[in-house]
Structure 1
Amino acid sequence: MGINTERDIEANLQIGPTDLGQVRLFIEGDGIEIPMDFAPEEAEEIAEEILAAAKAARLVADR
């Protein structure tokens, strides 16, 4: 299983700050909840990676 393997799974993603100064990605799916907490600096790095992936995906889609 890799990043290019498609799955038919529904999930919700919530993103927000915690009361401890962390950024939480909260993933909720069928019978599972995954809270992932990151320091603000780590969250910024993740955001940069998401933006870079979106840019790369656009290039693939435009071919």
Structure 2
Amino acid sequence: MGINSESEISAHLQIGPTTIGMVRIYVAGDGVDLPLDFDPDEADEIAEELRAAAQAARKMAESAKGKKR
């Protein structure tokens, strides 16, 4: 499965600080229990990547809307 493949898999996502100063992204779903810990600088980089991806997705969605007309 790639980044552009649709899936029927559902999962819960939690993000927050840990007691030892890390940022945890916690993914839980059917058969999945995945805690991912990052130092704050890595978390900032991930946040920047998420923002850039959201901006690119908005542009793609707007482009797709324009083509449907």
Name the residue aligned to 2:52.
52
The 4+ residue runs of structure 1 with deviation greater than 3 A are none
- Residue 23 (structure 1) shift: 0.0
Name the residue aligned to 1:35.
35
- Residue 32 (structure 1) shift: 1.5
Structure 1 residues without counterparts, runs of 5 or longer: none
The TM-score normalised by the length of structure 1 is 0.97
Root-mean-square deviation (Å) = 0.5
The TM-score normalised by the length of structure 2 is 0.89
Q: Does 1:26 align with 2:35?
A: no
- Amino acid across the alignment from 2:3: I
Please identify the structure whose Cα radius of gyration is greater: 2
User: How many correspondences in the alignment?
Assistant: 63
- Residue 2 (structure 1) shift: 1.0
Structure 2 residues without counterparts, runs of 5 or longer: 64-69
Question: Distance between the aligned counterparts of 2:11 and 2:62, measured in 1?
Answer: 28
- Amino acid across the alignment from 2:37: D
Q: Percent identity?
A: 59
- Amino acid across the alignment from 1:15: I
